[in-house]
């Protein structure tokens, strides 16, 4: 069981979490390259799994279309939401309170070098989490994501550099679903968005859902998730700077 450090950052801005991911990814890549250059094993940093909630924000992936954002600057200001273009795959999505965003920064050379398998495994984490609450979720051919009938409950968008991942998934526990009206979610106009709370008729509690996601992530990726006792200094420095 390979170790992976788990850090729950709580509610942080999208840009702050992006900077943290980039710093962790850059460190893992640099250590990986140094080991190859030296031809001998070195003490390398473990993979990291971040959980966060973001304030209201819309993000557009590198292959996304700007016209899938249906809100102008005035509307964004009214919604209290930010907008970012980023370097992940996928189109446009929304993040906000009540949604668990998971950012695995993993060297897939330690696991398997197959990005499609990686995405399918992340999807399976969400599918099994839904099943824990008695909800049958699944996939739709040709579309990335986890769906309950034709409504998406979990969105995905990743980036991989030298087989080290960043970005990840957004699982809807009890977000304000009307924020999705400001976009064409994931660029798919004929599908809707849902949440655990909407399906169940009550909020199951975000901490309980985090626990389920972590458990299935550990089982499916065959990793030992180790919660850090304190936030590492480089990450804390980014948080303090912001």
Hey, which residues are catalytic here? 186
Strand pairing of 151-161 and 143-148? antiparallel
Query: Strand pairing partners for 208?
Result: none
Residue 149's region, left for phi above 0, alpha for psi from -120 to 50, else beta, is left
Q: Where are the beta strands (DSSP E) in 23-136?
A: 47-53, 57-60, 82-85, 92-95, 99-105
Query: Strand pairing partners for 16?
Result: none
CA distances to 2, 59, 207 from 162, rounded to whole Å, are 19, 24, 33
């Amino acid at each position: 069981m390979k170790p992976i450090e788990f850090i729950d950052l709580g509610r942080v801005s999208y840009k702050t979490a992006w900077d943290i991911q980039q710093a962790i990814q850059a460190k893992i890549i640099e250590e990986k390259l140094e080991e190859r250059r030296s031809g001998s094993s070195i003490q390398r940093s473990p993979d990291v799994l971040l959980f966060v909630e973001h304030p209201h924000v819309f993000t557009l992936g590198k292959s996304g279309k700007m016209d899938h954002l249906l809100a102008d600057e005035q509307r964004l200001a009214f919604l209290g939401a930010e907008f970012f273009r980023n370097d992940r795959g996928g189109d446009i999505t929304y993040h906000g309170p009540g949604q668990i965003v998971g950012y695995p920064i993993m060297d897939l050379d330690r696991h398997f070098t197959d990005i499609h398998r990686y995405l399918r495994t992340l999807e399976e984490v969400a599918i099994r989490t839904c099943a824990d609450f008695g909800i049958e979720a699944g996939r739709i051919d040709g579309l990335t994501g986890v769906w309950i009938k034709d409504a998406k409950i979990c969105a995905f968008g990743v980036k991989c550099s030298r087989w080290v991942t960043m970005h990840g998934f957004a699982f809807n526990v009890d977000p304000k679903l009307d924020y999705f009206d400001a976009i064409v979610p994931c660029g798919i106009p004929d599908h809707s968005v849902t949440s655990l709370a909407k399906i169940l008729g009550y909020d199951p509690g975000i901490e309980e859902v985090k626990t389920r996601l972590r458990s299935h992530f550990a089982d499916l990726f065959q990793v030992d998730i180790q919660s850090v006792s304190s936030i590492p200094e480089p990450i804390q420095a980014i948080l303090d700077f912001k």
